[in-house]
Every structure is written in C-alpha cells, then in structure tokens.
C-alpha cells in the first residue's frame, strides 16, 4: 500500500499538517486515537469518513517520518 496516495499536505489546510485524502482529518488525529487505545475499527467509527486503508496510511506515514539516519559525531 502506498501511503503517499492517501496522505496530503496543503499549506492552506490544517496549518499545512498532513491530512487524510484532502479532508480535514489530520494524521495526528488518527495517531492520537490509536495511542489512546482505540482499535482501528473504533477509529473508523469515530471518524466515519475514514477507510481502513487511511488508518494504515497514517501509521505508515508516521513510520516513514521516524525512520531517518542517525549520524554519530566523532
């Protein structure tokens, strides 16, 4: 699944924060609900415009943003 097709960033929307498919549902909103202990199905019930692949895309986006090289200073 290509999360890049589902995550949009528009400087004129939600302060330029990443959103789901151009809607005003931020990736952070989805991640916060998951971190609060909601299941994927509960997140979708809370935000009915979401699709299961949107939740997966939010997780993959977060993973990609955190995966960066670490350089050690000598």
pLDDT tens readout for residues 28-48:
999 999 999 999 999 999 999
Q: What is the mean pLDDT of residues 39-64?
A: 96
Residue 68: pLDDT band (50, 70, 90) is: confident
Specify the number of domains making up the chain: 1
Residue 70: pLDDT band (50, 70, 90) is: confident
Which residues form the domain of 17? 3-66
**CATH at 48:** 1.10.10.10
Q: Are strands 7-8 and 19-20 parallel, antiparallel or unpaired?
A: antiparallel
Max distance between CA atoms of the chain, in angstroms, equals 51
């Amino acid at each position: 699944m290509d999360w890049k097709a589902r995550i949009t960033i528009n400087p004129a929307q939600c302060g330029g924060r990443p959103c789901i498919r151009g809607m005003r549902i931020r990736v952070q909103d989805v991640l916060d609900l998951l971190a609060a202990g909601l299941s994927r199905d509960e997140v979708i019930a809370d935000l009915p415009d979401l699709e299961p692949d949107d939740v997966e895309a939010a997780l993959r986006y977060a993973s990609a943003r955190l995966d960066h090289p670490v350089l050690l200073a000598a």
